[in-house]
Structure 1
């Protein structure tokens, strides 16, 4: 089947020198920040929520990872089909409304089942955001600025994490974990209206308001196109390994310090004159938020600089950063003092954040415009099915299995240290992808002609 003629999208036209639409990027980053806020706030609320509802570590792994990620990944592909064909702005706005509403509902859950269903709802809503946003941003900016633009969008990860951890810690100390979910969810419902009216859909500008939808390849042809690109799969599975390691640890950051460094945490809280939960929220928020933000911005510059000599440059950054992050994350889990653990964790988060712009720019540049949202969705499907769904569950199950022989504290630390292995594997997959990606891009361009 051949593509029907259509007006070119902005990303397909010469765009060198076009200024970046910073307003639109800032709004999309804010949406993504709410995405991460609603995920990350669970981290700081784990221990009181666990005590209140009588949860085990494996159940924490379920609500933090598997329950959310199962529907997030499964619905990502059909929603990306909508994004490749229709109004991406509308899809993002509706998705934001849905996941924010279900985040608020987490605050009224009375048992594990109700909390599980609410987290599933959050995953359903968030499934419509990033593939559509990646496709939209790629239409907004020229090729030579995509690493930087996508890293600006990816700032939503540290910004949202910072807000979730700090807000969660403050609300936990003042109002309790239930109120924290309600306060986190309601503002996103208001933001959805701003997204609907403020963002521009380039397809409407190109084709006219009478035809917002563009012709779409059959799903089988999309899969066949991507199947001919081995580097796409290597990059996607490399991203998944990086996410497995990070999300596996991140789900238990709060538990690690509350359970194994309670005395050190109390001492820091006294010296700062705040409650321990506030102290932990501030510390984790600064590391995941501020340090992660610096790493994300630096990574965007590195991505575009590395790719000046060709698309393979996008894979070099994560192939180096993941292997460096592996021992840092393991060291943070096993450190004997809270100060050393904080230092190692901050370094690990910075190094890991360097890869965000690269991994998405590689896929968005490799994929042709008509399948970019689908390519992003499949990349995220693989990433989240393996990383977000299984990473927290793996650490939770490993912690429960190791606890009888090592104790609750040491069992959790050993389980969290094991994530160094998938991080190192991810580095290898990116290196292998880098050896294929230039040839894949050239072959794909030949097939388009």
Structure 2
């Protein structure tokens, strides 16, 4: 599973180190690069994560991961054929759809393989693939581009006229097809086995997932709402109009229609799914949306993700602009920092979360609360230090401390629901991480960078300003995580009672 997530993030993160090359070739802005990395991927990843998460709850999870891995690998390779912003956006949509299959299914499988006592550690080790993959992606992207330029100084002489960034997409995408074949051979655990809870087998998994797809995919969402009555349809239409009005206002205010149209569609799809879930599966709806703990953690941790995605993506371009480092040097040092630092942080944070959880019911939250306090000063040093070794040291420290929340957050989400709900709860949690962290973090930092540059700042100073503003989301995370300290102990103790009261057969 870790290797799957490594491939997942190699394909996702490589665009970071390729950003300057893509900008130059396609003539696009920082905000558009942020859209390609964030929103273009994130909306489809989040929206399709809901029906694929449901499919993971009722079908063979390792088969779902295998098919998704093959699909996103093809889409990554096809990104190497893109010749304009629109085409590259479409292939990024496809990568998002494919990658949506992996994490909810993996969270569910691993929660069945291993005891709840080590759940945060296990999920943290799985999540370490984020940073290993991101580091490898940054490293490979820089090396491939420089090597390609050495081989073909005249781009017109390259095979099929491919630029270095296009070749990089082919190199990292195609090996995923072999990995997909191997994943198909893994052993599927019995659902609920780690807790001794029996779960009924769903005889029609694709029919169930299809209903979930209709509930989340516009305009089919209207049909799904209509089945729940005229009042539900009216509420759905009014919500869609309200979201459209907000998106229109944001477009008028800041431009970038692709960003706000895509995000608006994603938010409307998420609302439609939530509305439908309340009718079709009230027990799952109750365990997710009427749990104050779930509300707190699915808002607080995504605020930290805003920073880890935003600063993590713009880190390599910042080094190239502000410190004029060589592309290969930046790729090697930043790539290794992300891989090694992220692995230490995610694994160490997960281990510490489990250790504290054995002594304190809020143990996992304590680790999450420590992250903003540790990451903020490291991020500011990274942005403002002038000595190169200090910059790299601060970046490494940031890579260690900023992801320490991941295992504890995933463990908390899985702890608060019943086994049959874990993949769909994880899909909702990832949706929030994706919308707030991935869709908004890189884009808003990029847009702010464009605005500061338009005011006369250099590209390096402009990006520094955008990243510095993004770091303030760490403060916002505390607003949501601190209240969770009061509600989690009670809701953790009465989980089974809450499920029974909602109609779940336990």
Query: Shorter-chain TM-score category?
Result: 0.7 to 0.9
**Rounded Cα–Cα distance in structure 2 between residues aligned with 1:316 and 1:215:** 41
Q: C-alpha displacement at 1:87, in angstroms?
A: 1.2
Q: Which residue of 1 aligns with 2:330?
A: 280
Q: C-alpha displacement at 1:376, in angstroms?
A: 0.5
Q: Which residue of 2 aligns with 1:321?
A: 371
Map residues 27-426 of structure 1 onto 2, 5 A cutoff. Answer: 28-175=1-148, 176-203=164-191, 218-262=280-324, 265=325, 276-405=326-455, 406-426=457-477
Q: C-alpha displacement at 1:445, in angstroms?
A: 1.9
Structure 1 unaligned regions, length at least 5? 1-27, 266-275
Q: Which residue of 1 aligns with 2:274?
A: none
Encode CA deviations 1:395-436: one digit per residue, 9 max, x unaligned. Answer: 010001111332322111011111221112213322221221
CA 1:312–1:208: 2 relative to 1, 3 Å = closer
Encode CA deviations 1:365-399: one digit per residue, 9 max, x unaligned. Answer: 11111101111111111111111000001001000
Q: Which residue of 1 aligns with 2:231?
A: none
Q: C-alpha displacement at 1:210, in angstroms?
A: 11
Q: C-alpha displacement at 1:282, in angstroms?
A: 0.7
Q: What is the aligned residue count?
A: 410
Q: Any idea what SS the aligned residue of 2:285 has?
A: helix
**Rounded Cα–Cα distance in structure 1 between residues aligned with 2:141 and 2:47:** 29
Encode CA deviations 1:290-324: one digit per residue, 9 max, x unaligned. Answer: 11111112112101111003442111101111222
Encode CA deviations 1:79-134: one digit per residue, 9 max, x unaligned. Answer: 11111111111111111111111110111100000111111110111111101110
CA 1:129–1:33: 2 relative to 1, 3 Å = same
- Are the aligned partners of 2:59 and 2:202 in contact in 1 as well (CA < 8 Å)? no
Q: C-alpha displacement at 1:333, in angstroms?
A: 1.9
**Rounded Cα–Cα distance in structure 1 between residues aligned with 2:363 and 2:204:** 35
**Rounded Cα–Cα distance in structure 1 between residues aligned with 2:285 and 2:199:** 26
Q: Which residue of 1 aligns with 2:153?
A: none
**Rounded Cα–Cα distance in structure 2 between residues aligned with 1:255 and 1:440:** 44
Q: C-alpha displacement at 1:208, in angstroms?
A: 11
245-254 vs 373-382, which deviates more? 245-254
**Rounded Cα–Cα distance in structure 1 between residues aligned with 2:40 and 2:170:** 20
- Are the aligned partners of 2:112 and 2:192 in contact in 1 as well (CA < 8 Å)? no
**Rounded Cα–Cα distance in structure 2 between residues aligned with 1:443 and 1:340:** 49
**Alpha carbon RMSD of aligned pairs, Å?**
2.2
**Rounded Cα–Cα distance in structure 1 between residues aligned with 2:201 and 2:415:** 27
Q: Which residue of 2 aligns with 1:10?
A: none
Structure 2 unaligned regions, length at least 5? 149-163, 209-276, 501-506
